[in-house]
Structure 1
Amino acid sequence: MGKNPKSSSHPVAPLQSKPNQDISYEGERLDELLLSIQREIKTTRDLNAESLPEKFWLKKQFAIGVNEVTRVLERMTPCGDSARLMNPNYKTCTVKLQAILLTANCNPRWLTNHVPTLAMSRKVPLILVKDKEGSLRLGELVSLKTAIAIGIKANGSPINQLIDEILQRTT
């Protein structure tokens, strides 16, 4: 018997790691990851003599929140250029994500169910933060109370170099 195509189009299963795509961090490993990212953000911000307020500087470096991450992912060209073949007037997005930090304990789960699928279709690595207070810890990175998802924009910054190193170590 075949599967119902309707039921497979909306995944409701809990987030799970896929080889070479999603990376999970918890415990001491998570502490080290977040601390190194936080240090790099502070160092990069201090080195940048731009007169931008912190809020605007962070917006140039990150897509903050599920809605913003989703928006950027949807504007990125899916792998295989299927969007361009279907619509010749399709415009490529100027903003690309290097990786996404996503809390694994989001409640309700449906808020983030679509992110892993979108990320995989755009070949953007997903870094799952497995911690009871994951949204609080991600929020600290971007000077907010909480954040469920943070997309790291690929713009050649030292933060991107750190994320590259982290992704290289895990593959």
Structure 2
Amino acid sequence: MSLYDDAVRVLKEFPAPAPDSPGTDEQEGLRQAYLDHLAAHPDGLWKACGAGHLTASALVVDPARERVLLTLHRKLGMWLQMGGHCEQGDGSLAAAALREATEESGIGGLTLLPGGPVRLDRHPIPPPCHWHFDVQYAALAPAGSVAAISEESLDLRWFGYDEVAGVADTSVVRLLAAARARLG
């Protein structure tokens, strides 16, 4: 299966929140927008697509399920989850998210939460592209893991769940809420 086919499959199977949950309509709308984007742009997974492209990210959760690891993004100067662009060697969106989380956190042995992505988030980016269609996963760090700052980060830090809203934007706060709901 190609990465494109995997992305379409993942989006078609994306588990939207329960009908009475906040954000259900937004997530369903984004799911359809992602599918429409891929249908209109066969190159919609790649950075070269001027109309925007899919990205894959993962919020790294500590083994005790009390903190998340955020990166102070070098270019944006914001605390964000690990993530980035799909690459030709990625066999799936999940593999891309796991690769990015591993590269940016320095933590080996991360495991994605079962059930596929936990959230979708579309955000504008500077030209020449216009949009990132981010497919967001959550990953558990193994016991004893030690994070290491990558060249893409200014800093890397664990934050308690209650600290995230004070340092990150609403997209990260929403991702954390979705990850916590998945964790149970």
Question: Same fold by TM (over 0.5)?
Answer: no
* Structure ID, larger Rg: 1
Q: TM-score, normalized by length of structure 2? A: 0.27
Query: What is the TM-score of this pair, normalised by structure 1?
Result: 0.28
Structure (1/2) with the larger strand percentage: 2
